[in-house]
Every structure is written in structure tokens, then in C-alpha cells.
Amino acid sequence: MMIPLWIFLVLWAGLVTLLSIGALIAVTMMLRFGLAGSRTVVIALIFIALPTALVLATVQYAFGVDWSQSITFLSVPSTPLY
């Protein structure tokens, strides 16, 4: 069974999107209903910076991958691995 690599990219992008939406909701609630102070703002910025860095790293990595390749599962290789 062969699975194209681009499927993994789509799944990863979906997970990162869900993480980013969750982070935005959490930061909105933190800033609106949390304790007022500079530490709250710093923590919110860090919490938003992590998914942003993840998205940028994913985009940078995605440009260097040949997405036309496939991964083979559940088959015996024809050549020995040693």
C-alpha cells in the first residue's frame, strides 16, 4: 500500500491550524478575563509566538521536500536492507 507524502502535509497543516485556533482563543480569553499585568501580556505573546514559529518552520521545510514521492506500507522490500 502506497501513501503519497502530500497527505501527511495536509494532515500536519490541519493539526497546526487547530493548534493556532486554540491558541488564539486561549489568548483572547486570557487577555479579556485574566489578571491584568505585564506578565499576562508576555505569556500571551510567547503563547502566540510558538504556533507562529511552528507554521514558519513547516513552510520552510515544505519547500525542500519532493511531495510527489510515496511511502510504502505493509509490503516486503525486494532488496535486502543490509
Domain assignment of residue 44, yes or no = yes
Instruction: Provide the number of structural domains found in the chain.
Output: 1
Establish if 34 belongs to a structural domain. Answer: yes
- Percent of the chain exceeding pLDDT 70 equals 91
- 48 inside domain: yes
The grid coordinates listed for 82 are 543490509
Beta strands in 1-82 (DSSP E): 2-4, 70-72
Task: Encode pLDDT of 4-46 as tens digits.
Answer: 888 988 998 899 888 888 888 888 888 888 777 888 888 888 8
Quick check: is 79 in a domain? no
- pLDDT given at position 11: 92
Q: Is residue 30 part of a domain?
A: yes
33 in a structural domain: yes
Range of the domain at 22: 12-62
In a domain, residue 32? The reply is yes
pTM over 0.75: no
pLDDT at residue 77 greater than cutoff 70: no
**How far is the C-alpha of 43 from the C-alpha of 15, rounded, in Å?**
22
Residue 24 in domain = yes
